[in-house]
């Protein structure tokens, strides 16, 4: 098992390339199973979750070819014969649960393990299951597996997501485009990942109305064709590096290959801290202020402040001059990083779903341990402004969602090394 050893404090200076989005690629990979010919996806990142999902697809009999050098992934569904996603693979990442919609939607049946993934908090799949039932599918639970069965044509109906859910919206789209006579998803997620999936499905031949809104109506088609499609840049990686560029008063970074249109109000929120943010096409330039202003935020569904950036924002607020608070209205218990930041010297206190932060506090090195993907990267951000050598343990979480993180940060001035944790 590896760890990062990070020597700080180090300002960041230079250019960082933005990788393709994991969260956008995974639904596209599942959608490829619905086609009658191969699908090729470009700009796919080299991440543990991508490799895991490749293996999930291969178990079914799909042919998966991943050219890591240029990020090209081709999926051929022609020989799919095993309509199951086993526990050994699904437990490693929640997105494997998309196999429920993909396999049922294409073949009328599926056996998919209940998912695993990040350790924090309940993220139930009830919405996925109830939506499938509303659509007309038969859903049963057996020994930790969801068993789905459906007729060739389902009546469909109307299902309202409460709360709105990216994962459930994606799964219901995958399950309905080849099955439901007419199926409407109300309070559907509007995240860019959902919009890209809808556009991909439509390109494949699906009939979807309301793309980009919170009401999606699907009308079944007889078949879908494989396509070629570009994956989106990773907006959470983009936001993470924007925060990294604002935390140290001497930092100044340029992000290339981003899609600022997918960031919602985040750039304006970052500007409120005093950071200078300039956007020119797919390039974002961030210059840190001499003094960070404390800015409180609440996470909201897109286009509001992303829950996937709240740990990073809270970490930055430890370096702001004054008090702030960060409230997560999406996941109430996503604060596992707080005790670790306190070990580094942060003054933070969690009350229900809000972390209260008093800054500015000097951070000092210590060994810290992460429990999920975004918590991991928040510890990396803290270590880069902490004095001394900080060990960040369990970085396998980072390998799930940040491509070449240590290389990208090293190239802009960070002192970060990957070493054997047990050495």
Would you say 23 is a known binding-site residue? Answer: yes
118 catalytic? Reply is yes
126 is in an annotated binding site: yes
Active-site option among 31, 56, 110, 118: 118
A 10 A CB-CB count for 124 gives 10
Q: Is 349 annotated as a binding residue?
A: no
The annotation status of 123 as a binding-site residue, yes or no, is yes
185 is in an annotated binding site: no
Binding site annotation covers 125? yes
Q: Is 127 annotated in some ligand binding site? A: yes
Count, residues in the chain: 423
Q: How many CB atoms lie within 10 A of CB 7?
A: 17
Note whether 18 and 231 are within 8 A (CB).
Answer: no
Paired tokens of 196: 């890209």
- Enumerate residues 6+ apart whose C-beta is below 8 A from 309: 236, 239, 240, 243, 266, 374
| Cβ–Cβ under 8 Å, residues 137 and 103 | no
Which three-class secondary structure string do you get for the chain? CEEEEEEECCCCEEEEECCECHHHHHHHHHHHHHECCCEEEECCCCCHHHHHHHHHHHHCCCEEEEECCCCEEEEECCCCCCCEECHHHHCCCHHHHHHHHHHHHHHCEEEEECCCCCCCCCCCCHHHHHHHHHHCCEEEEECCEEEEECCCCEEEEEEECCCCCHHHHHHHHHHHCCCEEEEEEECCCCCHHHHHHHHHHHHHCCEEECCCCCEEEEECCCCECCCEEECCECHHHHHHHHHHHHHCCCCEEEEECCCHHHCCCHHHHHHCCCCEEEEECCEEEEECCCCECCCCEEECCCCCECHHHHHHHHHHHCCECEEEEEECCCCCCCCCCHHHHHHCCCEEEEECCEEEEEECCCCECCEEECCCHHHHHHHHHHHHHCEEEEEEECCHHHHHHCCCHHHHHHHCCCEEEEEECCC
Q: Are 60 and 106 in contact (CB under 8 A)?
A: no
Distance of CA 304 to the CA centre of its chain: 15
Q: Is 139 annotated as a binding residue?
A: no
User: Cβ–Cβ contacts within 10 Å for residue 88, how many?
Assistant: 11
- Binding-site residues sit at 22-23, 94, 123-127, 308, 330
Q: Which residues form the catalytic set? A: 118
- Binding-site residues for UDP-N-acetyl-alpha-D-glucosamine sit at 94, 123-127, 308, 330
């Amino acid at each position: 098992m590896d760890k990062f050893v990070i020597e700080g404090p180090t300002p960041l200076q230079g250019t960082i390339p933005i990788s393709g989005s994991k969260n956008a690629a995974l639904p596209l990979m599942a959608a490829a199973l619905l086609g009658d010919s191969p699908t090729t996806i470009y700009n796919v990142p080299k991440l543990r979750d991508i490799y895991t999902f490749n293996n999930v697809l291969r178990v079914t009999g799909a042919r998966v070819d991943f050219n890591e050098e240029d990020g090209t992934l081709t999926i051929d569904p022609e020989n799919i014969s095993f309509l199951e996603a086993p526990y050994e693979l699904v437990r490693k990442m929640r997105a494997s649960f998309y196999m429920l919609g993909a396999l049922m939607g294409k073949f009328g049946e599926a056996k998919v393990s209940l998912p695993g993934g990040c350790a924090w908090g309940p993220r139930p799949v009830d919405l996925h299951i109830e939506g499938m039932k509303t659509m007309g599918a038969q859903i049963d639970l057996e020994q930790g597996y969801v068993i789905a069965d459906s007729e060739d044509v389902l009546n469909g109906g109307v299902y309202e997501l409460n709360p709105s859910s990216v994962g459930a919206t994606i799964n219901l789209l995958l399950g309905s485009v080849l099955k439901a006579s007419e199926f409407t998803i109300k309070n559907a997620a509007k995240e860019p990942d959902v919009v890209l999936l809808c556009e991909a499905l439509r390109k494949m031949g699906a009939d979807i109305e309301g793309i980009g809104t919170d009401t999606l109506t699907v009308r079944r088609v007889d078949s879908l064709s494989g396509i070629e499609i570009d994956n989106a840049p990773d907006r959470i990686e983009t936001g993470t590096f924007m925060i990294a560029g604002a935390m140290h008063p001497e930092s100044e970074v340029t992000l290339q290959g981003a899609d600022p249109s997918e960031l919602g109000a985040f750039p304006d929120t970052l500007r409120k801290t005093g950071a200078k943010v300039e956007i020119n096409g797919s390039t974002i330039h961030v210059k840190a202020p001499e003094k960070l202003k404390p800015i409180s935020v609440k996470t909201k569904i897109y286009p509001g402040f992303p829950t996937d950036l709240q740990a990073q924002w809270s970490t930055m607020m430890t370096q702001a001059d004054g008090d702030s608070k960060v409230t997560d209205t999406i996941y109430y218990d996503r604060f596992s990083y707080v005790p670790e930041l306190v070990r580094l010297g942060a003054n933070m206190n969690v009350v229900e779903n809000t972390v209260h932060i008093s800054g500015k506090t000097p951070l000092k090195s210590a060994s810290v341990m992460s429990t999920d993907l975004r918590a991991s990267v928040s510890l990396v951000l803290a270590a880069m402004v902490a004095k001394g050598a900080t060990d960040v343990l369990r970085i396998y979480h980072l390998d799930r969602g940040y491509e070449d993180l240590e290389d990208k940060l090293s190239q802009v001035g960070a002192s970060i090394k990957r070493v054997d944790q047990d050495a």
